[in-house]
Amino acid sequence: MSDLIYQLKDLKVSFPDLSQKPLLGAAPRTQVLKGLTFDVAKGDVLGIVGGSGSGKSTLGRTMIRLLEPDSGSVLFEGSEIAHMNEDDLRPLRKKFQMIFQDPMSSLNPRRQVGGIIAGPMRLQGFDNLSARVNEALEMVGLPKTFTNRYPHELSGGQRQRVGIARAIALRPDFILADEIVSGLDVSSQAQVLNLLEQLVRDLGLTLAFVSHDLSVIRRLCSRILVLHQGEIVENALTANLFSNPQADYTRTLLDAIPLPDPNQVWE
């Protein structure tokens, strides 16, 4: 099956619960992901949705191996990365990138935009850095002059574009976007979503979009994974999920979204 970019099988992740730690000995562990199995096809835009604490960010971070799972398998383009060591992972890392939620804390305040975008490329041994930086800026619709700006000189939407430019500059196959529009105003949010959609199309990216907002997910994603307390409660094509939600939890989520419409009644 060459058209799958990710194959995850029985993925389990737990964290130590330090609030329960005894004076001596190890803290008990809380299961965050309780055995997830699903595939991601190349070119998919996968929405990962769930309430706080559902494990959606943990899942994303495990997929790009910022976290190591307890057990289970993560196949990325056919290679098993679940327990791969950092030296072997390094060459793969340019193929999966991440865009972070808060662009202020994920951009180094002491570096200029050009340096921020070039950083990961330098680590990965790319050449022609300044040409690539310019190209990445152009793709996210920022002028070249921004290479000399500092993050604090930019608006929220512009900062998030820099985060996107840093991720796509490496020409990855897969990008994880973790709640990247939740801190933006609706207008900047619309701009960033439109940009992301265009980049997915132009660059043939596969995207996992973690969000708590089903309205945003519907706009962007082709397939949706609904997580609840560390388990997949629904995995469906976007159109099917909205026309005929299967899981009770999905319906609860849908009912809770406040539509900009005074005729929607909450019972």
Partner 1 sequence: MSYLSIQDLSVRLRNGLPLLRKVSLDVKAGEVRALVGESGAGKSMIGKAVLGILPRAVRLTGGKILLDGEDLLALPPKTRRQRIGAKAALIPQDPLTALNPSRRIGPQITDRLVDILGWKRPEAEARALELLEEVHIQSPGRVMKSYPHELSGGMRQRILIASAFAAEPKLIIADEPTTALDVTVQKQILKLIREMQERHQTALLFVTHDLGVVSKISQSLSVLYAGKVIEDTDVRAFFDAPRHAYSKALLAATPKYTDPDGSLMPVPDNIIAAVEREVAAFDAQMNE
Interface contacts to partner 1, rule CB under 8 A = 51-52, 156, 185-191, 193-194, 212-219, 239, 242, 252-262, 264, 266
| Cα–Cα nearest to 206, from 216, 194, 218, 220 | 220
| Cα–Cα nearest to 113, from 95, 133, 93 | 133
CB of 56 to partner 1, least distance (A): 11
CB of 134 to partner 1, least distance (A): 23
* Residue 190 vs 247, nearer CB to partner 1: 190
Cα separation, 50 vs 129, whole angstroms:
38
CB of 215 to partner 1, least distance (A): 4
* Residue 150 vs 242, nearer CB to partner 1: 242
* Residue 69 vs 157, nearer CB to partner 1: 157
* Residue 148 vs 194, nearer CB to partner 1: 194
For the chain, state the CA radius of gyration.
19
* Residue 158 vs 188, nearer CB to partner 1: 188
* Residue 8 vs 216, nearer CB to partner 1: 216
Query: Three-state SS for 5?
Result: strand
Q: Which amino acid is at 203?
A: L
Strand 71-76 and strand 45-49: pairing? unpaired
Strand partners, 236: 224
Cα separation, 59 vs 229, whole angstroms:
12
Is the Cβ–Cβ distance between 174 and 5 less than 8 Å? Answer: yes
Supply φ then ψ for residue 91, to 5 degrees. Answer: -65, -25
CB of 234 to partner 1, least distance (A): 15
CB of 263 to partner 1, least distance (A): 8
Cα separation, 144 vs 114, whole angstroms:
9
CB of 1 to partner 1, least distance (A): 29
